[in-house]
Chain A
Amino acid sequence: MKRHIFGLAALVLAVSAGGASAQTMSFADAGALIAKSCGASIERFCARDDIGTGKVASCLQGHQKDVPQQCFAALQQAEAGTTARLAAQQATFGLCQDDARQFCKGVKPGDANLLDCLLASYKVVKGACRQGLTDAGWAN
């Protein structure tokens, strides 16, 4: 029974990780995910390594047999999700160019004025622009 639960958990994880490759993730969610999946291992094996240096990831690799597999999956998911998020943020204003010209003429860029205008026009902007705003994490 235990084995089945483990198998099921692995399957759920694989499916959700697969789904996440198409989805973008905030850095806050990525941080929470890593803390939840790897926090105990980090505090146990890598307590002297600073997360900002990249040493934590290599330390976890070094203790691979003692670290739960879901931690490595979480690290991958966080990396893929935040990379996709940044790419979406870079692409969004390009995707929204026509909409911006149509709905936001004369808006002074900077200080998120253009974003405010696009969000105010959220219901009428084209699908690609709307999807871009969502993927960038700015649509709510």
Chain B
Amino acid sequence: MTAFTRRAAGFALVAGLALGASFGFVDRAGAQSPMSSAEITKQLSEVTEFDPSLTAQVLQGMAQRAVQANQPLPLDQSEIAKRLAKLAQIDVQIQFALNSAVIRPQSYAALGSIADAMHHPILWNYRFLVVGNTDTTGTRAVNLALSQKRAEAIKEALVNLGKVDPARLDAVGLGQEALEVPSKPTDPINRRVEIFTIGTMKAMPKPLQ
């Protein structure tokens, strides 16, 4: 990254933290204004290191096993969570119709901002993982299935409307297995979509001669 983008990314991180702090006091879904594509671009390009073993299939398998065995999956304290936390990521609120994977019109612009970010040259060569999460309202298995459908709906919208190459996107639902705030499991703050930068598409091109 150039000095310019590094500075910009640093600024975005500070803005993100400030925003995060306010979410504890206000209703997040109501008060939040969607991130601009510039902010998304900066946060998703904050690449530290990739973790090739963290795939949608691996995460999905872990969540499914935990639900089947009715065992807790303390992703928030696990190695996986620590590894996920190292990746460049954004946290977005997408509004869905109740108990369905239909994205509501008020979230079209937010989806568009994500597509815009993915079309920016700084992210052209990167792949992303879309992760859907619920809170603990409802049953665990239903939440897992619903979050999977919602993550796939977001991928579908980014591909078909946002014209993002499907090869750049993976989608996985983790249900209520990766709560943002484990101490408040029914808080809507846990209902969120995370997008992680998980790798590159191909080697970077050669410099101009």
Chain A residues packing against B (C-beta within 8 Å): 26-32, 34-35, 38-39, 42-43, 47-54, 82, 85-86, 89, 100-101, 104-116, 120, 137-138
Given known contacts A101-B208, A114-B121, A52 and B37 CB-to-CB distance under 8 angstroms: no
**Docked pose: A100 CA to B205 CA in angstroms:** 15
Given known contacts A27-B161, A52-B159, A86-B119, A106 and B102 CB-to-CB distance under 8 angstroms: no
A82 touches B163 (CB 8 A): yes
B104 touches A52 (CB 8 A): no
Contact of B108 among A31, A48, A54 (CB under 8 A): A31
A28 touches B112 (CB 8 A): yes
Q: Chain A residue with minimal CB distance to B34?
A: A28
A105 touches B208 (CB 8 A): yes
Given known contacts A112-B121, A120-B4, A50 and B208 CB-to-CB distance under 8 angstroms: no
Q: Chain B residue with minimal CB distance to A30?
A: B112
A50, A52, A54, A115: residue with the most chain B Cβ atoms closer than 10 Å: A52
Given known contacts A28-B116, A39-B105, A138 and B121 CB-to-CB distance under 8 angstroms: yes
**Docked pose: A82 CA to B125 CA in angstroms:** 20
A35 touches B108 (CB 8 A): yes
Contact of B106 among A35, A50, A54, A111 (CB under 8 A): A35
B45 touches A51 (CB 8 A): no
Given known contacts A27-B115, A116-B2, A116-B4, A107 and B207 CB-to-CB distance under 8 angstroms: yes
Contact of B204 among A29, A32, A100, A108 (CB under 8 A): A108
B119 touches A31 (CB 8 A): no
Given known contacts A50-B102, A50-B103, A109 and B2 CB-to-CB distance under 8 angstroms: no
Given known contacts A27-B112, A39-B106, A86-B163, A52 and B157 CB-to-CB distance under 8 angstroms: yes
Q: Chain B residue with minimal CB distance to A27?
A: B112
B1 touches A111 (CB 8 A): yes
B113 touches A27 (CB 8 A): yes
**Docked pose: A43 CA to B161 CA in angstroms:** 18
Q: List 24 A-B contacts (CB under 8 A).
A: A27-B37, A27-B163, A28-B37, A32-B112, A34-B105, A39-B106, A47-B97, A47-B102, A50-B103, A50-B157, A51-B102, A52-B157, A86-B119, A100-B208, A104-B208, A105-B209, A107-B208, A109-B205, A110-B204, A112-B121, A115-B121, A116-B5, A138-B120, A138-B121
B116 touches A26 (CB 8 A): yes
| CB-defined contacts of A42 to chain B, threshold 8 Å | 105
**Docked pose: A129 CA to B163 CA in angstroms:** 24
**Docked pose: A3 CA to B113 CA in angstroms:** 37
A109 touches B112 (CB 8 A): no
Given known contacts A110-B125, A112-B121, A113-B2, A38 and B208 CB-to-CB distance under 8 angstroms: no
B122 touches A54 (CB 8 A): no
